[in-house]
């Protein structure tokens, strides 16, 4: 099959996922309300700590609020990936899906990116309106927007690999959710969800810079508020390296799990 046909096939999957996710406007409304509470709380907290015109390690209150806006928009962009893959493995449905003329992992990736495109965009739009009302528009540039968009996509790829790898653990363990719980805590801390990694103690800053979690949240948000090309290059290179490494891990895990199905007669 030619690349153009493959592209059209998986693009159709992504479009279907986006349309499906857009239909759940009630869920999006609930998340927007939660989002507004988080931004309002942290905006007031930073206002108390650094004042309206003060800075914290070079970050103004406005920058910190917009940083949190993007990191929360990304983090709250939940998809059905983990549940779908885990359910397919546990029920044995994956044995039938493998016979279809679609690569299972590419299908899941296309569906994931379709959902992420809608949820992240709507979350950022809603959060951006709240942030605008609280601290005004940030002093962003076109280069900063371009950098952030590229890093959001790369971070989404890293996130897909991590979530899919966690879900595929269902081939080998009874329950993979505890691993997801650990993953989510790493996003909160070493991913720089609430505070830029620059504000961490030296040891934790160096550790976070080496792990994939900062590629998901910190990298895109840092680029959005700073537009620093040097920082962008470092973040992009790290995200690409982790994409390659995690793709290898995911491929090995999937191949081993499928082999186990065949051996067991699934």
pLDDT in tens, 15-30: 877 777 666 666 666 6
Residues 6+ apart with CB under 8 A from 172: 257, 260
Instruction: Look at residue 157 in the predicted model and tell me its pLDDT.
Output: 94
Given this model, what pLDDT does residue 27 score? 64
Find the helix or strand (DSSP H, E) in which 229 lies. helix 229-264
Radius of gyration of the chain (CA): 20
Give CA 226 to chain center in angstroms: 20
Per-residue confidence in pLDDT tens, the chain, 266 aa: 566 677 777 788 788 777 776 666 666 666 677 777 878 887 777 777 776 666 777 788 888 889 888 998 898 887 777 788 878 777 777 777 777 777 888 888 888 898 888 888 888 888 888 888 888 888 778 888 899 999 999 999 999 999 989 888 887 877 778 888 888 889 888 888 888 888 888 888 899 989 999 999 999 999 998 878 888 999 999 999 999 999 999 888 888 877 776 545 44
**Using alpha carbons only, what angle is made at residue 42 by residues 215 and 38, rounded to the nearest 5 degrees?**
75
Count of CB atoms within 10 A of residue 68's CB? 25
CA 159 to chain centre: 5
pLDDT of residue 26: 62
- Which residue is listed with tokens 């790493």? 186
């Amino acid at each position: 099959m030619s690349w153009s046909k493959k592209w059209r096939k998986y693009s159709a999957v992504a479009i279907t996922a986006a349309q499906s996710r857009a239909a759940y406007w009630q869920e999006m409304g609930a998340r927007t309300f939660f989002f507004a509470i988080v931004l309002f709380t942290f905006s007031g907290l930073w206002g108390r700590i650094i004042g309206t015109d003060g800075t914290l390690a070079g970050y103004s209150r406005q920058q910190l609020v917009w940083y949190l806006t993007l990191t929360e928009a990304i983090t709250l962009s939940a998809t059905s990936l983990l549940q779908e893959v885990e359910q397919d493995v546990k029920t044995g449905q994956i044995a039938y899906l493998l016979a279809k003329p679609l690569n299972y992992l590419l299908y899941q990736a296309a569906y994931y990116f379709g959902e992420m495109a809608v949820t992240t965009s709507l979350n950022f739009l809603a959060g951006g309106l709240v942030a605008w009302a609280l601290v005004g528009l940030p002093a962003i540039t076109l280069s900063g927007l371009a950098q952030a968009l590229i890093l959001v996509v790369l971070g989404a790829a890293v996130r897909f690999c991590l979530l899919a790898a966690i879900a595929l653990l269902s081939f080998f363990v009874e329950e993979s959710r505890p691993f997801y719980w650990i993953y989510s805590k790493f996003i909160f801390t070493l991913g720089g969800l609430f505070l830029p990694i620059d504000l961490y103690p030296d040891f934790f800053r160096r550790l976070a810079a080496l792990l994939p979690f900062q590629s998901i949240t910190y990298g895109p948000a840092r680029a959005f508020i700073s537009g620093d090309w040097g920082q962008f290059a470092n973040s992009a290179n790290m995200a690409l390296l982790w994409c390659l490494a995690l793709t290898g891990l995911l491929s090995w895990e999937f191949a081993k799990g499928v082999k186990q199905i065949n051996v067991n007669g699934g």
